[in-house]
Chain A
Amino acid sequence: MPIERFRSGEEMNASPARAAHQERSDEENYQRFVRHCARMRRLSKAVYPRGVYKFRTVEEAQAFSRTAHRFGAQEREQPGEGD
């Protein structure tokens, strides 16, 4: 079914193609994920700090991500000190 036509977004979202994951193997699901992440990296390379950081809560970790991760970079930072 290479082409499907829809009258609305709702109709599109209800398409059986949306349920295709149920027929994929674990291997196929995973490879699809790997390809998708690779596309994201090509579009916007993230630059992360290096090392080990510890947090009391997940919210603390998420706040750290907002300040320590940079996106859209072309090159990686040199390794630095962790905490």
Chain B
Amino acid sequence: MQQDEILRLCRAFQQEGLHYVLIGATAMAFHGVVRATEDVDLFIRADAENVERLRRALRSVYDDPEIEKIETEDLLGDYPAVRYYPPTGDLYLDIMTRLGEAASFDTVEGEAKEVDGIEVRVATPLALYRLKRDTVRALDRSDAAMLRERFDLDEEP
């Protein structure tokens, strides 16, 4: 069976030693909280070598010169959120080094999941809940409510 695109990405991240953690609906799915999504949200550690690891990983999955436009100066500077739409057209990646003033790779607790022999780093349910509970987007608030219910999280916003 052909491995699906998200797993191919995660395998490439693992092979390149990328420091990352999945957040968002894809991460929720690894915890059994399933809703449809077509974006893969991830925090990466904010350093130049790690951004290069990300580019190498993406190049190993996609033959796409656009990947070179993912620039260290942006992710470490004024543009902490970079979105990449790969040529497959079925999903896109939101790559972040920080979210507002508080959240970043270093502040989000992650854990390892294993699928098809691939280790996938995902934010814990509590970390996901904390990321989502205070946002204004209705979808995030709904996700937060689901996480809170499923995992008996008792933190109030």
Where the two chains meet, the residues of A that have a C-beta atom closer than 8 Å to any C-beta of B are 19, 21-22, 24, 26-27, 29-30, 32-34, 36-37, 39-41, 46-58, 60-62, 64, 76, 79, 82
A-B contact pairs, 21 of them (CB 8 A): A19-B150, A21-B34, A26-B114, A26-B115, A26-B120, A29-B34, A32-B34, A33-B26, A33-B29, A33-B30, A36-B35, A48-B85, A50-B89, A51-B69, A52-B82, A52-B84, A53-B85, A55-B82, A55-B83, A57-B100, A61-B94
**Which residue of chain B lies nearest to A76 when distances are taken between CB atoms in the complex?**
B89
Q: Which B residues touch A61, using CB under 8 A? A: 81, 83, 94
Q: Which A residues touch B78, using CB under 8 A? A: 56
Contact (Cβ within 8 A) B34 A27: no
Sorted from nearest, which 8 A-B pairs have the closest CB atoms? A21-B32, A33-B29, A40-B36, A54-B79, A52-B69, A55-B81, A26-B113, A29-B32
Main secondary structure of the interface of A (DSSP, over half): helix
Give the number of A-B contacts (CB < 8 Å). 103
Name B83's contact: one of A21, A36, A64, A76 (CB within 8 Å): A64
Contact (Cβ within 8 A) B81 A21: no
Q: Which A residues touch B90, using CB under 8 A? A: 41
Q: Which B residues touch A55, using CB under 8 A? A: 79, 81-83
B155 at the interface (CB under 8 A from A): no
Main secondary structure of the interface of B (DSSP, over half): mixed
Interface footprint category on B: 35 or more
A77 to B42 Cα, complex, angstroms? 26
B79 smallest CB distance to A (angstroms): 4
Given contacts A21-B31, A33-B30, 19 further A-B contacts (CB under 8 A): A21-B33, A26-B30, A26-B120, A27-B114, A27-B115, A30-B29, A33-B29, A48-B92, A50-B66, A51-B85, A55-B79, A55-B81, A55-B83, A56-B80, A58-B100, A61-B81, A61-B94, A62-B137, A64-B83
